[in-house]
Amino acid sequence: MNKYDSSKIIAYLLKYFNNFIITKNILKSDFIILNTCSVRQKAQNKLLYFFDKIKKVKIINPNLIVAVGGCIAVQEKEKLFLKFNLIDIIFGTHNIKKLPFLIKNFQKNKNKIIYVKFTNKINKNINSINYYNSIISKSFVSIMEGCNKFCSYCIVPFLRGKEISRTPEDIINEIYNIVNMGIVEINLLGQNVNAYSSFFNNGKKCNFSNLLYLISEIDNVKRIRFTTSHPSNFNNDLITAYKNISKIVDFLHLPVQSGSDRILKIMKRNYTINDYKKIIDNLLNIRPNMIFGSDFIVGFPTENKDDFNLTLKLIYDIKFDSSYSFIYSPRPGTKSFYMKDNISIFEKKNRLYKLQKLLYDNSVYWNNILLNSIQEIIVEGISKRNNFYYGRSRNNKIIYFKSGRNLLGKLLNIKVNLIKNNCLYGKLI
């Protein structure tokens, strides 16, 4: 979501300032925008490290302007000015569209500016290019933002606001625009995409599965993915969509967080492991080749060895291929912040290591299953490391191959014929 927002920031600035150039060389910049994350303390600490660098730029260029947006801006508001006196502008997660005007104001008056307000509108990506994706074949499309779930550990609902969904017409228009630019794979984006709920211009309701059917009818859309869905909103209509819409890929990232019902209850996740497994089983009945990924938190307050072993068992049973897995990070203001953080950091690290090791073994397992099979891939880029092309299979595996032709963005069949360093290689068919 932050990467997507960064691309929106750039798009708005390019639209309003015609002499604006993006540079990766921080020492040469006149203007630095930090789009921050505070989902875990580690993400938040990055701001500290970065300000050390910015101090050096300010010495070279005393006219440097520094703006801070994203979740830390919403969380800390004017307190950030006190912590980092180099900041000139603070803007909220809902206020990206305002940024060019804030900059103009600052340039005129030279007074520090703060603009952090929740609106009920999503800032769509005005020219629909993901600047952070040098990849030309796929693109995020934001369909909803915010979260109403308030899991006990999570700061997101406080900083991203209530769930708001874009209208289906708005989304479909954006997709038509980007497929005309050569995009073939759409990744629908939102904190909980399957909580999507909107209305057509004629007043009729549109839910997430309705939206999937509509998008699938666009000829040049070859694949549909989504990030992230929530188990408690994974209804039967959505499962049926997997039967009817072959453009939905054979991979699902469905965050579970823990394998223990006791922990899930304290996390306020609103499902049991049985509910979760039912979703997976129903999907596998329709798509036996499907592979799954998930998010895990280890060391949640009161998590004991039995709870943790249940998480390992789930990972083993479902054979998750990939994960975002983290040590629990207490977030001020959330419910669980007030629970005693009773597990030692040594134990937490140990659990994370075991969990990630098992996930690695699962990815080895899947690589071996795919060896000698034929996979349909969309070519995403050329690896800087070995000059091989790479693309993603329908079940989200990256496969490398060699070719003398320009194949970027193409949908191709590859015969997987080698596993090296746990990476898949293949031959173009």
- Kindly indicate which of the ranges 29-37, 153-161, 366-374, 420-428 contains the residues binding ligand SAH, using the contact rule CB under 6 A: 153-161
Residue 408 beta carbon to ligand SF4: minimum distance, rounded to whole angstroms: 34
- Kindly indicate which of the ranges 151-159, 306-314, 385-393, 404-412 contains the residues binding ligand SAH, using the contact rule CB under 6 A: 151-159
Count residues near ligand SAH (CB under 6 A). Answer: 18
Quickly count: other Cβ atoms within 10 Å of residue 112's Cβ.
13
Of 92 and 255, the one with the shorter C-beta distance to ligand SAH is 255
Query: Bridge partners of 138?
Result: 185
Q: Can residue 154 be called a binding residue for ligand SF4 (CB under 6 A)?
A: yes
Q: Can residue 191 be called a binding residue for ligand SF4 (CB under 6 A)?
A: yes
157 binds, among ligand SF4, ligand SAH, none (CB under 5 to 8 A by kind): ligand SF4
Query: Bridge partners of 392?
Result: 378, 398
Interhelix angle 236-244/273-286, nearest 10 degrees: 20
Of 128 and 258, the one with the shorter C-beta distance to ligand SF4 is 258
Residue 142 beta carbon to ligand SF4: minimum distance, rounded to whole angstroms: 15
Residue 367 beta carbon to ligand SF4: minimum distance, rounded to whole angstroms: 30
Q: Can residue 222 be called a binding residue for ligand SF4 (CB under 6 A)?
A: no
Instruction: Please enumerate in sequence order all residues whose Cβ is within 8 A of that of 115, keeping only pairs 6 or more positions apart, or say none.
Output: 89, 90, 91, 92, 95, 98, 102
CA distance 133 to 387: 18
39 binds, among ligand SAH, ligand SF4, none (CB under 5 to 8 A by kind): ligand SAH
Give whole-number Cα distances, 302 to 124, 340, 406, in Å.
41, 8, 54
Residue 237 beta carbon to ligand SAH: minimum distance, rounded to whole angstroms: 19
Quickly count: other Cβ atoms within 10 Å of residue 61's Cβ.
14
Q: Can residue 192 be called a binding residue for ligand SAH (CB under 6 A)?
A: yes
Give whole-number Cα distances, 208 to 231, 238, 281, in Å.
14, 8, 21
Instruction: Please enumerate in sequence order all residues whose Cβ is within 8 A of that of 188, keeping only pairs 6 or more positions apart, or say none.
Output: 140, 141, 143, 211, 215, 224, 225, 226, 227
- Kindly indicate which of the ranges 237-245, 321-329, 341-349, 392-400 contains the residues binding ligand SAH, using the contact rule CB under 6 A: 321-329
150 binds, among ligand SF4, ligand SAH, none (CB under 5 to 8 A by kind): ligand SF4
Give whole-number Cα distances, 23 to 3, 20, 28, 33, 384, in Å.
16, 10, 8, 12, 20
Q: Which residue in this structure is represented by tokens 């060699």?
A: 402
Of 103 and 252, the one with the shorter C-beta distance to ligand SF4 is 252
Give the DSSP H/E element, type plus range, for residue 14: helix 2-16
Query: Bridge partners of 427?
Result: 415
CA distance 214 to 203: 16
Q: Can residue 192 be called a binding residue for ligand SF4 (CB under 6 A)?
A: yes
40 binds, among ligand SF4, ligand SAH, none (CB under 5 to 8 A by kind): ligand SAH
Of 39 and 159, the one with the shorter C-beta distance to ligand SAH is 39
Which residues in the 294-313 window bind ligand SAH by CB under 6 A?
A: 295, 297
Q: Can residue 129 be called a binding residue for ligand SF4 (CB under 6 A)?
A: no
Residues near ligand SAH (CB under 6 A) are: 39-40, 153-154, 156, 191-192, 228, 230, 255, 257, 295, 297, 324, 326, 328-329, 331
Residues near ligand SF4 (CB under 6 A) are: 147, 149-151, 154, 156-157, 191-192, 230
